[in-house]
Amino acid sequence: MKNYKVEILAQAEESIIEITKNKMEYDLPSALRFFDEFYEDIKELHTLPERGFSLGQGRRGRIYKDHIIPYVVDDETMTVFVVDIVNPKQHTKAGKYF
Q: What residue spans of 25-90 are helical by DSSP H?
A: 28-42
Q: List, for residues 3-49, the tens digit of each pLDDT value.
A: 999 999 999 999 999 999 999 999 999 999 999 999 999 988 999 89
Selected residue with higher pLDDT from 73 and 92: 73
Question: For the chain, what are the domain ranges?
Answer: 5-94
Query: Across-strand partners of 81?
Result: 7, 72
Q: List, for residues 55-90, the tens digit of each pLDDT value.
A: 988 899 999 998 999 999 999 999 999 999 998 876
| Distance between CA atoms of residues 97 and 49, nearest Å | 17
Residue 90 C-beta-side C-alpha neighbours within 13 Å = 12
Q: Apex CA 6: angle with CA 4 and CA 30, to 5°?
A: 135
Q: Are 45 and 80 in contact (CB under 8 A)?
A: yes
Q: What's domain 5-94's architecture?
A: 2-Layer Sandwich (3.30)
